[in-house]
Chain A
Amino acid sequence: MGHIEALNSNSAVAYGAMLSRVQVVCAYPITPQVTIVEYLASFINDGLLKAEYVEAEGEYGMVAATMGAAATGARAFTATCSQGFAYAYESITAACARRVPIVMAIVNRPINGFWPDHTDSLSGRDWPWLQFYAEHAQEALDNVIMAYKVAEDWDVHLPTMVCNDGFYTSYVMEPVDIPEQDEVDEFLPPFKPRYIRADPSTPASPGIFASPRGLPPSIYNVTLGMMAWRLGAEEALVKAKEVIKKVNYEFGKKFGRSYGNGLVEEYMTEDAEVAFVTMGSMTGPARIAVDELRNKGKKVGLIKLKSFRPFPIEDFKRLGKGLKALVVCDRNVVNTGYGGVGASYLEIKHSLWYEKERPLLFNFILGLCGVEVSPTDYIDIIDMTSKALETGIVDKEVVWYPPVELKIYDPEPIPEEKRIKPCWPGTTLCQGCAEPLIFRHIFETLGRNVVVVPQIGCGAWSSNLPGSTAVTVPFEFSWLPQGPAVCSGISRGLKALGKEEGIHVILIAGDGSYGDMGFMTASGAMERNENVLVVCFDNEAYMNTGRQRSGATPYKASTMTTPVGTVIAGKQRPKKDLPKIHFAHGIPYVATATVAFLADFKMKLKKAASIRGYRYIHVLSPCPTGWGFPTERSIEVSRLSVQSGIFPLYEIDHGKFRFTYKPKERIPVKDYLQIQSRFRHLKDEDIKEIQSMTEEYWAELEELEKTEAT
C-alpha cells in the first residue's frame, strides 16, 4: 500500500514519473509547469531517481530530445505548457510521426494568455497524440503511470499528454496516495519498444516517406505511404480506447482506484435528464453544482471527459440516448468565424449527428484564460438553458460565459506629461533588483527616441501591471526566442518607411531567453548585421520562472533545476560565454558591463549608439532573490564580480579588444562567491577550481588584448 502526502498536481506528476522509472527527463522552465522538472531535478540529484536530465535550451529542442531518447528505447519524460507548447509544435508533430511513446505533462495555460484553460494542449488535437485530462493531483499522478502503460502498448505506440490545470491544480496542495515502487513495478513493466531505431545493432531510419511494400517506390506511391502513417496512427488511436479501458481496470484492481471506464467518468448520470460535460479541474465545482441541483430536485448529472484523444465517441452515443440535454462546458475555444465553439462540443456534436435519439446540445465556453468557474456558475448555466429545455428550441447554441458585450476602443496615445519619464517607478521587480537601474540608465543615455523590444522575462512583465504600463517608450513585447527577429523586422520596417534616422531599436533580453532559446534568431540577426542594439541582462538563470539553470548560470551554482543534492550539487558545466560567441559573429561592437560601474556602462551605451549594425552589451545584473544575498548588496556583488575577475569589463570595438577596467590586483573569487547562498555548498576545492578557471579565462582575454584588430 502507498502512503499519503500533501502534494500539488505538479509534484504528483513528478512522483508519477519517478515511480514510472523514467530514464531520460528533458526540461525547460515555463510557468506553471516548472515545478515538475524542479522536483525531478531534486529527485535525480538526491539519487532517488536514476535518470539523465537534459536541460534543454527551449521547448523545441526539449521535445526533440525526448523523442531522440525514446528512439533509443529509453523511457522518456518531458513537460511543458502554453507558449512552450506552441514553440515545441514541430517537435510535437514529429514525435507522433515517429511513433515514440513519450509522456509529456501539460500544465494547461493558454497560448498568449496566462491563467489556466485548455487551449494549449487542445491546439495539438489534430495530431495522433493521446491526451488525458486530470481533475485533481491524485489523478495527475495516476495518469502518468497509466499513460506509460497505454502509450507503450504495441497496438498504440503513440506519444501521450497528461494534462493538469495550471495554478488550480498545479499549485494547490491535496492529500495524494503515493503508490509504492514495487507495486508500480508490477503494474508497469520496463519499456520494450516495437522497434529500436537509434541503436547500431538495429539500424533503421525513421521516415514518413516509406513506400508501401510490393509497389514500386515512385513519388505517387510514397504519397500513399505518407497517407498511411497518418491512417496508421489513427488506427492506433482507435485501438487505444480498449487499451485505456483495460489499463484503467487493471490500475483499479492494483491500486484500489480507477477513473470511470478510463475514457469518461460519470457522476449521477443513471437517471439524469441533463448532464454537464467537463474536463480537468472545473469538474470539481460541477460535482458540487450537481449535488445542489439534485437537492432542488433537478435530475442533473455530470460526464467528466478524461480522455480527449482518443475521443470516446461511443460513450457519448450511449450516454446521449437517455438524456434530454447535454451541456458541454469547454474551457477552451476554437475561433471559427461563426461565433466560436468549444473543441469538445465539436466532437460531441459529431458523435451524435447520426443518432436517432439525440439530446439538445448546449455549449458554454467558460473559464477561458483562467476566468474562475464556481458551482454557482453551473447552476446559473442550468437556469440559462431552462427555457430552451421546455420549448425544445435552442436559440443560442454556443454561449461565452459569463455573457459579455464587447466594446473595443482605440486607445489614446500616452500623454506628454507622462512621457517625461521613460519608465516610472512602482514596477513589480523585486527589492534590490538591478534591472530597473539598467533600464533607467539606458533611457537616460539614449533618450526617448527609441523602440524597445523586451523579450519576456522579469523586466518585461514587471512593467506591465493589470490594465496599465510603467513604460512610456514603445515597448513591443516579444516572446522568448523572438526578440532579435522582431527587432530585425522593426529596424527594417523603419528603414522601409524612411524613418530609421535617429531611432534606436533596442532589444532588452535575459541571458536565458536571449542566450539560450533566442540564440537562433540572434545568430541570424548578427549574421545579417541588423541595425539593433542588444542589452542582455545577465542574471545567470531563468529568474522570471523562479531561478532555473540557464546556459549563463555559472559553474557549480545551485538553481532549482541544478539543486544541491546528496549525489549531484549545482550546475556541472561552466557558464556560456555569450560575449565571445557574439565576437565570433564579427559584429561591430561587443561589450560587457555591470551596474557597479555605471560610467563605464554609459560610455559603452553611447559608443554602441554611435555605431550602425548589431551591437551587443552584456550586463551582469545581480539578482538578490535568485542569487541569495541581502537586497542592499546588489551593487557590492556587482563590484566584487569585477574585482575578482569573474566578470571582466571589456569592449571589442570592430574587432579590437580592450579592457575598460582592470583591477590592479584581483581579489580572491571566494570574496565574491561566499556572500551568495547559491554558492553556499561549495567546498574549498570547488572554490580553488573556480579560482583557477578565472585565471585561465583572464590569461585568454589578455592574449586577445595583445592581438590587433582584424
Chain B
Amino acid sequence: MSKKPLVLEVPFAGILTNVATIPTGGWRIWRPVINYDRCKRCWTCVDYCPEGVIAKADEGPKIDYNYCKGCGICEHECPFKAVEMVRELRR
C-alpha cells in the first residue's frame, strides 16, 4: 500500500461560500447591440433581462457581454426597436 495519497481539502458538510459563476457569454450566437439613438431609456430590457446583465447607465442600458447568454428577449421586448441582434463573429 505504497501509493501516495491525494490531499483533498473540502469544506465541512460540503458548505459552499465561494461565490463564482461561469462566463456564459460564450453561449451566445446572437449579440444584442443597443442603438442609443433609438433608445428612450424606458428600461424595459433591464426589467426583462432574465440574467440581469443589463445595467442602467447614464447613456442608456449597458449589457455585460461576459454573461449575456444572447436569448434575445431584450430585442423582442424593446418597444422602440432599439436593440439589434448581430451574429457573433467566429473567433
Contact = CB atoms under 8 A, between A and B. Distances in A.
Interface string A372-390: 0000000010011101100
Contacts of B75: 632
Of A384, A425, A470, the most chain B CB neighbours within 10 A belong to A425
B70 to A, nearest CB: 6
A418 B19 CA distance: 7
A14 B70 CA distance: 38
Contacts of B20: 465, 467-470
B72 A630 contact: yes
Contacts of B27: 431
Nearest to A384: B1
A-B pairs, top 7 by smallest CB distance, nearest first, are A426-B21, A632-B72, A468-B20, A432-B71, A425-B67, A632-B76, A631-B71
Main secondary structure of the interface of B (DSSP, over half): loop
Interface stretch (A227-235, A311-319, A409-417): A409-417
Contacts of B79: none
Nearest to A434: B50
Interface in A406-454: 406-415, 418, 421, 423-429, 431-437, 440
Contacts, number: 145
A426 B17 CA distance: 16
Given A426-B21, A431-B69, A411 B11 contact: yes
B76 A635 contact: yes
B48 interface: yes
B12 A411 contact: yes
A464 B17 CA distance: 11
Contact of B6 (A405, A415, A418): A405
Interface of B: 1-12, 15-24, 27, 47-53, 64, 66-67, 69-73, 75-77
B71 A634 contact: yes
B19 A407 contact: no
Nearest to B32: A632
Contact of A425 (B4, B6, B17, B64): B64
A317 B12 CA distance: 42
A405 B8 CA distance: 6
A633 B76 contact: yes
A219 interface: no
Nearest to B2: A384
Given A403-B3, A404-B6, A405-B7, 20 more contacts: A384-B1, A403-B1, A403-B5, A404-B8, A405-B5, A409-B10, A415-B19, A423-B52, A425-B64, A426-B67, A427-B21, A432-B50, A436-B52, A437-B49, A465-B21, A468-B16, A469-B17, A469-B18, A632-B76, A634-B50
